[in-house]
Chain A
Amino acid sequence: MNDIIAKNTGRWILDRPNSYIGRSVPRPNAPRLAEGKGTFVDDIELKRMVHAAFVRSPYAHAKINGIDTTAAKAMPGVVAVVTPQEMAEICTPWVGVLTHLEGLKSAPQYPLPLDAARWQGEAIVAVVANSRAEAEDAAALVEIDWEVLPVAVDAEKALDADTPVIHESLGDNLAWRRNADFGDVDAAYADADHIIEDTFIFGRHTGVCLETRGLVADYESSEDQLTVWHNNQCPHMIQNILATHFGLEEHRVRVITRDVGGSFGIKVHTFPDEVTAVGLSIMLKRPVKYIADRLESFTSDIHARDHRVKGKIAIKADGTITAFEIDDLTGVGPYSMYPRTSAIEANQVVNMIGGPYLFENYRAEANVVYQNKAMMCQYRAVGHPIKCAVTEGLVDQAARKVGMDPVAFRQKNFHADDSYPKKSAQGMPFENLSHEECMTKMLAAMDYEALKADRAAKRDQGIYRGIGFASFIEVTNPSAMFYGVGGARISAQDGATLRLDAKGNVFVSTGATEQGQGMEAVISQVAATAVGVKPERLKIITGDTEHTPYGGGTWGSRAAGIGGEAVAQAGRQLRIQILAAAAAMLQEDADTLDIREGVVVDDDTGNERIGLDEIGRICYYRPDTLPDGFQAELVATKHYVPRKFPFAFTNGAQASYLEVDTDTGFIKLLNHWCVEDCGTVINPLLVDEQIRGGVVQGLGGALWEECLYDDQGQMLNANMADYLVPMAAELPDIVCGHATSPTSDSDLGAKGAGEAGTCGAPAAVMNALNDALSPFDAKLTGMPFTPKKVLTALGRI
């Protein structure tokens, strides 16, 4: 893996001697995981620990007329059977709304629903026993007197008069409607040479973290202390939520996240079964473990996407884009998820349609509706694959309409790389993007001309191959504009504390968390560079509300850009404080000194003066030898939040080359490219693997993944055999490249990289598929592109 080292940037952290920024250093926590010695939450065992299982609703919508727990309670090993009413006595309900999403409404959600089940798989009764197996045995004997109710399943009909209203108190099934209108779309239509419209369908899919959701909660009544080991991405957010709804003080709630087996935005929410499991520990005053099984995971993890978007693009005869318009509809289940809400995905779609292109006229309506399916909320690249596929699908159709090459059409309409800073048609601020550079680099990497020749040669042989492109923008490094302004208690800022020990090592505590992305490596590279030590001298501490500064955790492609910057600032501050101590010892001016590889040196010559181990020894054990009045301070804390821009927009381009078997409808992915711009690249190896993993999750949504429901709201494929996630044999190698436009909002200049792959891959595949089918009168815009849909489009079935 090639390093990406920036030189003479004018940014102190990048210009430091012995910088580790831009190097593909391995992750300090990877060897442990490669030896099977991680500590995932199900690996934790505590004394007197008991296990929770849930009785879940078999119906998508049914009234609870009564619950009989007698037989269950009599089962061997059963410790408790807890009804919704009993849980509601110790836990207050929540409502998943944010004030900046004006008009968003949702109903109070209890940890266990008091009156009715509103999706199949909703947890109704909790059973606690000495083993999970015994808890499940007893759960099977809980009798619920159900009154099955009519369902509202189809989002298209959610607002119809004859569709049941899921929450009477809300009046209807509309969660949120947003209308946006910029410029003059009607005038643009009147002036356009072509208006192209199409409807795009995005299947409902879910994260399928290989490690399911789970926790161990331990309430110690003598101290009123709740400790929760949880595989959540945001320990401080969960701390606040548990304290709020169980009536505890926040300092009495400790949330610890150790190794987390994948998250992808699934483990960033407030799940009622998890809150219930915590409540069980409070009730029983002993440790309770709850680990979702795979069926529970499919029917109670959040789902995502499931949008129907009608899109329009207006163009001039020369290929100039003049307007976009969309009508987005999404069904989000029966409640808006707390605390981030289920309206954000639609909001992102509205905000980012047409992102790479220069146009002024834009109109959008988004309707977010309630339905009796599992709840929907934010999953990796929230809204991005949708806005990207709608935009890029329309762009491809427009290019075809005017007879332009899809690349040339895009290049004609891109925001020019030298045109920033600027705002998008929707008013989104773009600091510095690089659509032109990314496309140029990608075309070189893929050898576009050779691919076109191959496509033509194969077509002559009756082999149908297609090339598809997708340019995109991506939201990263979110400020408080994302959630905080709407009232959610989710930290937008992150803190870092660095502490020098007596042997010259440095402890680094960060609010950022790790779920496999490589955060510990990134944090160690930044800390090592900022202080001036080798990475092996660092101990990284994450995921513990008692031992890390307040922070937002890892989501929204924020951890490197925000958490990393806090570490950079704290590292520089610690260096300054260490050098003050060194200056006192050496009787030198601190400004003439620096720290390199753990040794204080003369800044101009690099001559070694004193090691950090010696400084630690003197400061901690022999402070009496320091000058009168000098007190060494060897701990530094700094916090950071983006202030200049509400988000650091990034960008990139992807391309797919694939082959369609027109007899079977199967699609073979031949190759995939992604060139993206995440600003300063801290660790090229890790960035590339974030891109590749993200691309593959995008490919999953494009080709295979879908939560299938019947018309009664029953999920039909809630297992890993029938819900198809990408497997190794059906994937191509993925070529990655980078442009680097650092943000001026931080010294480090890093933007996010975790969601770019997922954002663009479905659009690239869709366009490649339609390119391959261009000799036929066939076009597909409904994901996932299954063989059946391909054959249907071809008129073969």
Chain B
Amino acid sequence: MDKNVDISLTVNGEKITKRVEARTNLVDFLRYEIGLTGSHVGCEHGVCGACTIRVDGRIVRGCLMAAAQADGADVWTIEGVTETGEIRALQDAFVERNALQCGFCTPGMLLTIAELMERKPDASRDEIREYISGNYCRCTGYQAIVDAVEMTRGTMGKMGASAGRKGASA
């Protein structure tokens, strides 16, 4: 039996045709076959969210989808959405608010937040926290990330002002 599969897909707007091992997952394909190393591999079993990418308009775990399943798909990675400028304001807010430290979770986190901002632009802080709970960050403690989302959509006042604004009985 042939262990390889021919696939044609669009990655960040570019048409790509490749022969892949059937067992290759999508994030490994993107990283090692296409050279798009912005998507990271954290757990390889769909928990940490570091490999989050966008496939046909929805975010997916790149480690849980076979590359062969992406035949005919429209795939976007952090490199692509950076290039188009789609999440520029969010990325700027991440830098200004220091919502990233080591930066390993950041690409996946940004794609998850981009989906949230499209689906629920007025999400509360608790809803933001809930939505990004599938993306682990080991450095920041998440508060700066929530702040950066609020900064991006202009619902946050002075940077850092969120600290303590939730009352004791929140």
Binding site for B on A (CB under 8 A): 1-2, 26-27, 30-40, 42-43, 45, 133, 207-212, 259-264, 293-294, 445-447, 450-451, 454, 458, 515-518, 657, 670-671, 673, 685-686, 688-689, 692-693, 695-697, 719-721, 725-736
A685's nearest neighbour on chain B, judged by CB, is B98
Expressed in whole angstroms, the Cα–Cα distance for A255 and B86 within the complex equals 38
B29 interfacial contact with A, CB 8 Å = no
Q: Are A728 and B98 in contact (CB under 8 A)?
A: no
> How far is it, in angstroms, between the C-alpha of A481 and the C-alpha of B40 when the chains are bound?
39
* Given contacts A30-B100, A31-B95, A211 and B38 within 8 Å (CB-CB): no
Given contacts A210-B138, A693-B141, contact A731 B43 (CB under 8 A): no
Q: Chain A residues with Cβ under 8 A from B140's Cβ?
A: 689, 692-693, 696
B residues with a Cβ closer than 8 A to A are 21, 23-24, 31-32, 37-45, 47-48, 50, 77-79, 82, 91, 94-98, 100-107, 110, 125-126, 128-130, 132-133, 135-146, 159-160, 162-166, 168-170
Residues of B within 8 A of A27 (CB): 95, 98
Q: Is the CB of A30 within 8 A of B94?
A: yes
7 pairs, CB–CB < 8 Å, chain A vs chain B: A30-B103, A36-B106, A685-B97, A695-B141, A728-B128, A728-B145, A735-B164
Bound Cα distance A2, B160 (Å): 8
Q: Which partner residue on chain B sits nearest A450 by CB separation? A: B168
A563 and B72 CA atoms in complex are apart in Å by 52
Q: How far is the CA of A30 from the CA of B44 in the complex (A)?
A: 25
In whole angstroms, what is the CA distance A391 to B91 when docked?
43
In the complex the two chains form, is A294's CB within 8 Å of B95's CB? Answer: no
Residues of B within 8 A of A26 (CB): 95-96, 98
Extra 12 A-B pairs, beta carbons < 8 Å, given A261-B102, A729-B129: A32-B103, A34-B106, A36-B106, A209-B102, A211-B40, A516-B139, A670-B168, A673-B164, A693-B141, A725-B138, A728-B132, A733-B163
Q: How far does the alpha carbon of A700 sit from the alpha carbon of B122 in the complex, in Å?
A: 29
Residue pair B166, A733 in contact (C-beta under 8 Å)? yes
Report A-chain residues with C-beta under 8 Å of the C-beta of B105.
210
Per a CB cutoff under 8 Å, which of A259, A695, A720, A729 touches B43?
A: A720
Instruction: Give the Cβ gap from A665 to chain B, nearest Cβ, in Å.
Output: 20
Contact, CB under 8 Å: A728 / B163: no
User: Does A728 lie within 8 Å of B78, measured CB to CB?
Assistant: no
Residues in B with CB closer than 8 Å to A689 are 98, 101, 140-141, 144
Known contacts being A2-B160, A693-B139, A729-B126, is A36 close to B77, with CB within 8 Å?
yes
In the complex, which residues of chain B have a beta carbon less than 8 angstroms from the beta carbon of A697?
138
A207 and B166 alpha carbons, distance in the complex (Å): 30
Please indicate which of the listed interface residues A36, A43, A445, A458 has the most CB atoms of chain B within 10 Å of its own CB: A36
Whether A516 pairs with B95 at a CB distance below 8 angstroms is: no
Inter-chain CA distance A727–B141, complex, in Å, is: 8
Measured CB to CB, the closest approach of chain B to A248, in angstroms, equals 30
Determine the chain B residues whose CB is within 8 A of the CB of A458 once the complex forms: 169
Which residue on chain A has the smallest CB distance to residue B168?
A451
* Pair A209/B138 contact, Cβ less than 8 Å: yes
Report the bound CA distance from A304 to B147 in whole Å. Answer: 32
Q: For residue B45, which residue of chain A has the nearest CB?
A: A719
For the complex formed, measure the closest distance between the CB of B35 and the CB atoms of chain A, giving whole angstroms. Answer: 8
Shortest Cβ gap from B117 to chain A (Å): 15
A673 to B163, CA, bound (A): 10
Evaluate whether A734 and B168 lie within 8 angstroms (CB atoms) in the complex, with A36-B107, A209-B138, A210-B136 already known.
no
Contact partner, A34, options B94, B143, B146, Cβ 8 Å: B94
Which residue in chain A gives the minimum CB-CB distance to B125?
A733
Tell me which residues across on chain A come within 8 A of B47, comparing CB atoms. 719-721
- A515 in complex: contacting residue of B32, B39, B45, B102, CB < 8 Å: B102
Q: Are A731 and B142 neighbours in the complex by a CB distance under 8 Å?
A: yes
Q: Which of A30, A45, A208 contacts B98 (CB 8 A)?
A: A30
CB atoms of A671 and B160 under 8 A apart? no
Picked from B45, B104, B144, the residue with its CB within 8 Å of the CB of A262 is: B104
A2 nearest in chain B by CB position: B160
Q: Is the CB of A38 within 8 A of B103?
A: yes
**A1 and B160 form a contact (CB under 8 A):** yes
Query: With A294-B42, A450-B168 in contact, is A36–B79 under 8 Å at CB?
Result: yes
> Are A210 and B50 in contact, CB atoms less than 8 angstroms apart?
yes
Chain B contacts of A37 at CB under 8 A? 38, 79
Q: A264 contacts which chain B residues (CB < 8 A)?
A: 138
The smallest beta-carbon distance between A265 and chain B, in angstroms, is 12
- Please, how many angstroms separate the alpha-carbon atoms of A688 and B42 in the complex? 26
Contacts of B110 in A (CB 8 A): 34
Whether B130 pairs with A516 at a CB distance below 8 angstroms is: no
Q: Check B102 against A210 for contact (C-beta < 8 Å).
A: yes
- Contact between B44 and A211, CB atoms less than 8 A apart: no
Contacts of B44 in A (CB 8 A): 293-294
6 tightest A-B CB contacts, nearest first: A36-B38, A33-B103, A516-B102, A261-B104, A36-B78, A516-B101
A688 touches B102 (CB 8 A): no
Question: Is B142 touching A696 in the complex (CB atoms < 8 A)?
Answer: yes
* CB-contact partner of A40 in B91, B94, B104, B168, under 8 A: B104
Knowing A35-B38, A721-B45, A733-B162 are in contact, say whether A454-B96 is a contact too (CB < 8 A): no
A447: which B residues are within 8 A, CB to CB? 168
Contact A518–B42 (Cβ < 8 Å):
no
B residues within 8 A CB of A45?
32
Q: Are B103 and A43 in contact (CB under 8 A)?
A: no
User: Are A33 and B100 in contact (CB-based, < 8 A)?
Assistant: yes
Residues on A with C-beta less than 8 A from B165 are: 733
Q: How far is the CA of A67 from the CA of B169 in the complex (A)?
A: 63
Q: Which residues from B are CB-within-8-Å of A133?
A: 21, 23-24
Min CB distance A44 to B, Å, is: 9
- Pair B126/A40 contact, Cβ less than 8 Å: no
Q: Are B163 and A36 in contact, with the CB atoms below 8 A? A: no
A732 and B164 alpha carbons, distance in the complex (Å): 10
A516-B102, A735-B163 given; A294·B168 CB < 8 A: no
With contact pairs A689-B140, A695-B141 given, residues A671 and B168 touching in the complex (Cβ less than 8 Å) = yes
Asked whether, in the complex, the Cβ of B40 is within 8 Å of the Cβ of A40, the reply is yes
A450 CA / B78 CA spacing, docked (Å): 45
**Chain B, Cβ-Cβ closest to A698:** B141
For A725, the chain B residues whose CB sits under 8 A away are: 136, 138
For B104, what are the chain A residues with a Cβ–Cβ distance below 8 Å? 38, 40, 210-211, 261-262
**CA of A304 to CA of B51, assembled, Å:** 28
Q: How far is the CA of A671 from the CA of B130 in the complex (A)?
A: 17
Known: A210-B137, A728-B142. A261 touches B163 (CB 8 A): no
